[in-house]
Amino acid sequence: MRKLYKIFYIQIIPIFILGFSIGVISIWPGIISGKSRICFLNILKDGIDGSIKIGTVLSINPNYLVKIKKTKNKYFKILLIGDSCFRRF
């Protein structure tokens, strides 16, 4: 039983974290860039209270704005905001 936990903690968890990291970086290559992360966090901070500044709206691609407005799911909206910031360099 102890050997199973040891294998789990030493081998499986690091492989999972490495795979997750590689997956996120391959989907959103701009996540490594600090400028893209600042864009993402600014959009989230600005949109939390419900009122969005014009500068924030203009920083997002119009195609993404239409997609974000049509979706009802909050998780999908965050993914679209991530796409708008992290997929452009």
Rounded CA-CA distance 13/16 in Å is: 5
Per-residue confidence (pLDDT) for residue 43, from 0 to 100: 81
Residue 5: pLDDT above 90?
Answer: no
Domain that holds residue 62: 2-86
The pLDDT tens digits of the residues spanning 25-69 come to 888 888 888 788 888 888 888 877 777 778 777 777 788 788 888
Say how many domains are in the chain: 1
Per-residue confidence (pLDDT) for residue 1, from 0 to 100: 65
Residue 89: pLDDT above 60?
Answer: no
Per-residue confidence (pLDDT) for residue 38, from 0 to 100: 84
Rounded CA-CA distance 47/57 in Å is: 10
The pLDDT tens digits of the residues spanning 10-26 come to 888 889 999 999 998 88
Residue 50: CA atoms inside 13 Å, Cβ hemisphere, count?
Answer: 0
